[in-house]
Amino acid sequence: MAPFARAGATREVRAGITRALVRLLRSMKRPLRERHAGQLRVALLGSLAQSQEKRPPHAYVTHVLRSGLGETLSERGQVAMATALTLTLTLTLTLTRTPTRTPTLTRTLTRTRTRTLTLTLALALALALSPTQVAMATALALSATTKAASEAVVLCSLKELAQLLQQLREVAAEARDQLLGGERPLSSLQRHPSRAVRLAACHCLFALALAFPNRLAPLLEHALQQLMAAHAIAEEQPTERDKALDAVQAHAHAAATLVSAMPETPFGCPNGLLVGALSAAAALAGRGEERSGAAWLLLRALLHLEPDWMASKARLGEVLKMWGAVLGRRV
């Protein structure tokens, strides 16, 4: 895997190694591939964690994970892979989280390692992972401590996890519980500084809503509550305005993702939540560039619904108010 991590490697070299790895993995017999899937996954993601470049080549590794491993494993192997990827996400976020008020470097490292060890043991007990899986995920997370490397590992993990969730559906219950419980890595990644990571987290959230339709309504309700809470902070606390506006955009992306997933699910969600999304969009419109962008993002997601839902007089009135607020005059 060294050519992936080597600084200055050309695109042609990386593309050739990618095709060779996919061909090699697909030519392996399934029992052999299943037996070594964990080591292969850690080796691929570890090549990103060791990369010294500002933009690690995560696209090539993502392709190998999807075409060489994800699509060729059995259902049992895919479930194990999805669970291990969620563990990698959680541990990577824990290790790369910036600590506050750190008196000394030694104390910081001690606290981080203690927290990581406690979290690893808790996840192993909760998910019944083998010691080998836990050790590999922990080693991978420990190596991905630099900003660029951690983002690349997180990106690859999120993209592959989204594909596995859409393929496995309700079978991937362990991955769902880990994404939505405890450290809530998916919620944290939706507020990540990197735009690419945010979009990948929203893609994973979309896949999660399709795989577990009964979780769509609670997730949408939580996203709308967080959105309006951030909007209130931006209005009432000028010192926290920048952080609040960033949170508004992050929660608006999450809410719009869930609304867009609703037509693809058999259960949908209560009408009151959709009305709440439209009301939130109307409240944000005309309140500055960031909040207006969040408002139109929600409105665009609502337009994916059936035309009859938006055609009512009350809802069209809300949309006209949004236009009026943005244009500054009556429409």
In the chain, domain spans = 1-211, 213-331
Confidence of residue 221 (pLDDT cuts 50, 70, 90): very high
Check whether 59 has a pLDDT greater than 60.
Answer: yes
Confidence class of residue 57 from pLDDT cuts 50, 70 and 90?
confident
Per-residue burial over 72-110, b = 16 or more CB atoms within 10 Å of its CB, e = otherwise: bbeeebbbbbbbbbbbbbbbbbbbbeeeeeeeeeeeeee
pLDDT, residue 45, reads 79
Cα separations (Å) of 199 from 24, 155, 194? 31, 9, 9
Checking phi first, is residue 169 left (phi over 0); if not, alpha (psi -120 to 50) or beta?
left
pLDDT of residue 113: 43
Mean per-residue pLDDT, 52-77? 81
Q: Are 120 and 134 in contact (CB under 8 A)?
A: yes
Find how far residue 26's CA is from the centre of its chain.
Answer: 28
pLDDT band (50, 70, 90) for residue 255: very high
Q: Is the pLDDT of residue 308 over 50?
A: yes
d(CA 85, CA 90): 9
Overall size of the chain counted in residues: 331
Angle of helix 271-284 relative to helix 313-327, nearest 10 degrees, comes to: 20
**CA-closest candidate to residue 139, choices 36, 39, 66:** 39
Task: With 0.95 as the threshold, say if the pTM is over it.
Answer: no
DSSP string, 284-320: HTTS-HHHHHHHHHHHHHHTTS-HHHHTSHHHHHHHH
How many Å is the maximal CA-CA distance in the chain? 68
Would you state the structure tokens that stand for residue 199, as one six-digit string? Answer: 């979009």
323 has a pLDDT exceeding 70: yes
CB-facing half-sphere around the CA of 52: CA atoms within 13 A: 6
Asked whether the predicted pLDDT for residue 116 surpasses 60, the reply is no
Helix locations, 64-194, DSSP H: 75-96, 105-127, 131-143, 147-168, 173-180, 185-189
The residue type of 212 is: F
Cβ atoms of 41 and 81 within 8 Å: the answer is yes
SS3 of 147, please?
helix
Cα separations (Å) of 243 from 191, 238, 247?
A: 10, 10, 6
Least confident of 35-49, 60-74, 132-146, 181-195: 132-146
Distance CA 248, CA 232 (A): 10
Which of the two residues, 54 and 231, has the higher pLDDT score?
A: 231
**Between 330 and 89, where is the model more confident?**
89
Return mean pLDDT, the chain. 77
Reported as a single tens digit per residue, the pLDDT across 77-86 is 888 888 888 8
Q: What whole-number distance in Å separates Cα of residue 44 and Cα of residue 24?
A: 14
Average pLDDT over residues 188-200: 86
Q: Which of 37-46, 98-107, 184-193, 259-268 is predicted most confidently?
A: 259-268
The residue among 282, 324, 311 whose CA lies nearest residue 299 is 282
